Amino acid sequence: MLQTALLKHRALLSLLCGALTPLAFSPLDLWVLILLTPGILYLLLQDLAPRKAAWVSWCFGVGFFGSGVSWVYVSIHTYGNASVLLASLLTLAFAMGLALMFAAQGWCYAKWLSGSRFPAAGFIGVWIVFEWIRSWFLTGFPWLYLGYALIDTPFKFWAPIGGVWLLSLVALSLSLAGILLIRSRSMTQRITLAIILTLPCLSLVLPKDWTQASGNFQDIDIVQANVAQQLKWDKNYLPDFLNLYSKITLEQTQASIVIWPETAIPSLLSTATPYMHNLLSIFNADNRSLISGIPSIERDTTHPNGYRAYNSLALLTGETDIYHKQRLVPFGEYVPMENYLRGLIEFFNLPMSSFSLPTQQQTTLSVGDSKIAAAICYEIAYPELVRKMSADSDWILTVSNDTWFSHSIAPAQHLQIARMRALENGRWLVRSTNNGLTAIVDPYGDIAAQAPAYEVAVLKGQIENRSGSTPYQLYGVLPVLLFSMLLIAAGFIPRRKESS
């Protein structure tokens, strides 16, 4: 009975720690929390059998995702028209499913590493490996990596070297070294832990400029039209929306490049062109570029519909170019097990939830003399995808429609993730959204300009083409993964036998 009660207490404390951890991310940015909660979870897992460790870790994951991605409730309830109860249950089920990653992580640690000579090393290594697995398993959910919380700290300059995963490694090392330093009674251990705690501070002397400025500046205008999500896909309002975008663009923009957000044009270009003819004619005459998110189709006789639909980003003027989204959001852009779920409840019938993945390799968008690495919405959360796309680019463009998540914490988290991509790749990043958070981010991950959220606005700014590569762009996640494997290997070293 006592053991059962203690296990329940550990599980509850783990749940609480998990729920508090997302407060370290935007918009609250209480980043110190990630230097505490992983270390507490490490202590809670001590001396637990694998099954019990999996249970305690799963509770951490439920709190972590239940708090950190609670914004999915908004899209399910508000825009999917699910009842409060059903939306709450689906949100909870989503968090509980994601938490299985933490359960597997805890089980692996307890099964093979917790009784070793260096259990903390094994704990850190397993955490990083599972963060990486989460970037691709079942199409991936690369959200809320610990490293994102360090984007506004002096440790940030590790990111161009090893990406967000290296920052996660820094956070875990600081957390566990701090916890162990407090508990240690050995002077040798204390000195070792103190050294570990100071190593991340070497970021203060790391190079800041891995990429080179070209001196080629470009003026950018980003149109934020604040179109209501409930009306966006109503065909009756299509002329109003296109006229609104065109009016704002003609009256309030002067830059050579103007950007509209994801699916700003909520129809095929052939349908929208009559309402945009005047705008496109003026832009072509003035040699200006208009880039917009737009759905597109191409014929494909091998597809059941006879065609494929894409969520795309297109250059609509001059020598047109197009990019198709490569990472689709489950249930938002495609429905897994569509034959069984489509029509079951309204949430599974959201507008534009039948997109396809492109069949050909996607490349940078060419706009004048610039090559642009494109990322549509959710894609910006995939570090390796953006790394590969931006390697041959001058700057990064990401478009989104975070209106799906209203005034929740999702837009702030999304912008924080985008900022990390700019820092990792040493490129200027432009972020265009329907109602916020629209921003321009410099190569150091800092916000250079930002539009007010939830209102009609035009964000005007200037960016500079960059060339060259950061170490992360060259080598990706591989060095951090290899180091994590070494930590796991250290976790297999048996404890020294105590002399009698």
Among the options 377, 379, 384, 424, which is catalytic?
Answer: 377
What's the half-sphere exposure (Cβ side, CA atoms, 13 Å) at 257?
Answer: 24
Cis peptide before 268 (omega within 30 of 0): no
First to last CA, the chain: 34
Query: Which is nearest to 230 in space by CA: 346, 131, 325?
Result: 346
CA distances from 188 to 177, 201, 298 (A): 13, 21, 66
Task: Provide the sign of the torsion angle of the four alpha carbons 230, 233, 237, 242, taken in this order.
Answer: positive
Helix axes 119-133, 159-183, angle to 10 degrees: 140
With b for 16 or more beta-carbon neighbours within 10 A and e for fewer, the 183-206 pattern comes to ebeeeeeeeebeebeeebeebeee
Residue 19 DSSP symbol:
H
Task: Provide the sign of the torsion angle of the four alpha carbons 80, 81, 82, 85, taken in this order.
Answer: positive
What's the half-sphere exposure (Cβ side, CA atoms, 13 Å) at 137?
Answer: 11
Helix axes 84-98, 100-108, angle to 10 degrees: 20
- How many other CB atoms are found less than 10 A from the CB of residue 93? 10
- How many other CB atoms are found less than 10 A from the CB of residue 235? 9
Query: Does residue 498 carry a catalytic annotation?
Result: no
**Residue that has been written with the tokens 């009256």 in this structure:** 251
Among the options 131, 262, 333, 424, which is catalytic?
Answer: 262
Residue type, position 136, single letter: W
Query: Does residue 111 carry a catalytic annotation?
Result: no
Show Cβ contacts of residue 353 under 8 Å, excluding neighbours closer than 6 positions. 331, 332, 333, 334, 335
The gap from C-alpha 355 to its chain's centroid, in whole angstroms, comes to: 20
Query: Does residue 325 carry a catalytic annotation?
Result: yes
Show Cβ contacts of residue 461 under 8 Å, excluding neighbours closer than 6 positions. 219, 220, 222, 430, 440, 448, 449
CA-to-CA distance for 450 and 448, rounded, in angstroms? 7
Among the options 17, 325, 333, 379, which is catalytic?
Answer: 325
Torsion of CA 451, 454, 457, 462, to 10 degrees: 20
Two structure tokens written together for 314: 């297109």
Two structure tokens written together for 165: 């995963």
Length of the chain in terms of residues written: 500
Show Cβ contacts of residue 359 under 8 Å, excluding neighbours closer than 6 positions. 300, 308
SS3 label, residue 72:
helix
CA distances from 228 to 236, 237, 241, 377, 401 (A): 14, 11, 10, 18, 11
Q: Which positions are annotated as active-site residues?
A: 262, 325, 377
